[in-house]
Amino acid sequence: MDISPPESLRPPCPPLRRRRGVRLDARERSWCRRANRWGRRGLVRGYFAMASRLGDGVFWYALMAAMALLGGFHGLAAAMHMALISLVSLALYRGLKRWTRRPRPFAADGRIRAWVTPLDEFSFPSGHTLHAVGFSVVALAYYPALAVLLVPFTASVAVSRVVLGLHYPSDVLAATALGLALGGGSLWLLGAP
């Protein structure tokens, strides 16, 4: 015999997936707020703002130019490969942002401050991180000795996006996975150097 209340008297209960999603979203916003508070410290904010600004393209284009000018045919091939990654990454992240339309953390939560001006409106995925990871994978395949420079820089760009209030950790993690897949896939398709 069923003793549960009739359907009309039961309190609304979201599906399990939605409840987990709400908890995950709340947890992620909490992480964003904690990371964003680090930006109140001038040196921390300055460091991550600089990493973010260099990650806009300045650092990567300078690296590609140096490879092309100083690296002979090998360096030119590396620079061209990175330029190809740039075009594909740009199309990929712009398409995903238009499709998902996820608001940036500072737009969704008034307690999160944007410490720098965002380049566009939406959050998912982090274009800076996608480019940084994809570029690093390709550059390190051509010049493994650059790891001492590229690994910390790429990590700083990725972390900067959360500290500066522009992205959620999941935006950065998804972009990291996409960048690894894009960089690794391009090396597989085009042949590793």
Q: Which of 13-22, 55-64, 166-175 has the lowest mean pLDDT?
A: 13-22
Q: Which CATH number fits domain 10-190: 1.20.1730.10, 1.10.606.20, 3.20.20.70, 2.60.40.10?
A: 1.10.606.20
pLDDT at residue 24, rounded to an integer: 59
Confidence of residue 20 (pLDDT cuts 50, 70, 90): very low
Distance CA 161, CA 156 (A): 9
Confidence of residue 162 (pLDDT cuts 50, 70, 90): very high
Q: Is the pLDDT of residue 118 over 50?
A: yes
pLDDT at residue 87, rounded to an integer: 93
Write the pLDDT tens digit of every residue in 69-111.
999 999 999 999 999 999 999 999 899 889 988 888 888 888 8
Most confident listed range (7-11, 98-102, 140-144, 167-171)? 140-144
Tell me if 168 sits within 8 A of 123, measured CB to CB.
yes
pLDDT at residue 28, rounded to an integer: 82
Chain position carrying tokens 């992480």: 31
